[in-house]
Amino acid sequence: MKHSFNVILAEKYGIEEAILIENIAFWMGYNIDNGKNFKEGRYWVYNSLRSFSKLFPYINPKKIQRSLTKLEELNVIKTGNFNKLSYDRTKWYTIIDKKVMEIYNLIINDDFISKTDLVNAYNQNGQSISPKCKMDEAKLSNGLGQDVQTIPIIKTIIKPNIKTTTKEKNSNSSLISIKEKLKKTHLGSLTSKNIMKIITDKKITLERLTEVIDFSLSHNKSSGFIVSALRDNYVLNSVSKNNDSSKRSKLIDDENIIFRNKINKIKKKKEEEQNIKKQ
């Protein structure tokens, strides 16, 4: 990025001041061409001290502040506040020195604002309106740079409680029905937990669970068969599959028995320890 300044203005006001004038004048020209930021009969640009510092990292922030104050005191520029929020202190700038305006061709028809501009800029109630054009869609957020913005208005949005959708209601009622089905079948707690995990992981429906349980009861299958059939999606009318599954279900039942025995041993050991403490 190249920065430049007018030598005559640098001699008169200082180099830093000339650099700031160059920047403000450039974006004022852009706003004049595109009918942007027209307030109180003038075109303005806005920026914060922090943004100026990022734009000109080679100038000390305090020097930038002093230079802007100096230019305002010398009536080269004028500052304003047209922010929508009262606590927004982002400053707006416009050049008011006619000689400086002539250097940067900011004077229109010997006046800063022509009659046509005034007609376009004010409606019958005296409210400011900016003419629209295609350039308004440019990514420049304001008169001084793309990454600079005044403080946005934040509207508090109170979201109503989200109602449970029909799909969620159906899903919840299906899970309740599945749990009731497992209770009625009088399966062990461990087997029921295994089945619920498989149902959740593989999204098994109540119809499929009913089918497996009914088949298991009618063919004298163990609870382990139900777990295997749901997990491995057995074809229930297949003899070979049923023969294979009966072996696997027996293994699952054996594992459940071993697990329950371990739990019983742990419980028994804890009870003995508590009895010893009481004595």
Each as own residue / partner, the long-range contacts of residues 62-65 (CB below 8 Å, 24 or more positions apart, any chain) are 63/16, 64/16, 64/20
Domain boundaries, the chain: 7-137, 166-278
**b/e per residue 173-195 (b: at least 16 CB within 10 A):** eeeeebeeebeebebeebbbebb
The confidence score (pLDDT) of residue 195 equals: 84
How far apart are the C-alpha atoms of 25 and 33, rounded to whole Å?
12
pLDDT for the residue 248: 57
Is it the case that residue 174 has pLDDT exceeding 90? no
pLDDT of 145 over the 50 cut = no
Highest average pLDDT, of 3-7, 49-53, 94-98, 225-229, comes from 94-98
pLDDT value of position 206: 83
Question: Residue 279 pLDDT more than 80?
Answer: no
How far does Cα 232 stand from its chain's mean position? 41
The reported pTM is 0.44
Strands of the chain (E only): list them.
Answer: 38-39, 42-43, 45-47, 77-80, 91-95
Asked whether the predicted pLDDT for residue 181 surpasses 60, the reply is: yes
pLDDT score for 115 = 40
pLDDT at 208: 85
Pick from 57, 135, 43, 153: nearest CA to 92: 43
Write down the pLDDT at residue 110. Answer: 46
* pLDDT given at position 8: 94
Do residues 148 and 142 touch, judged by C-beta distance below 8 A? yes
Q: Which pLDDT band, with edges at 50, 70 and 90, does 144 fall under?
A: very low
CATH class belonging to 7-137: mainly alpha
Please provide residue 29's backbone torsions phi and psi, each rounded to the nearest 5 degrees.
-60, -40
Q: What pLDDT band is residue 161 in, cutting at 50, 70 and 90?
A: low
Average pLDDT of the chain is 75
* pLDDT score at 97: 96
Confidence check: pLDDT of 67 > 80 = yes
pLDDT single digits (tens) 89-134: 789 999 999 999 999 999 865 445 444 444 444 444 444 444 433 3
Closest CA to 209 of 238, 237, 231: 231
Residue 205 has pLDDT above 60, yes or no: yes
Share of the chain above pLDDT 90, in %: 30
Residue 69 or residue 1, greater confidence: 69
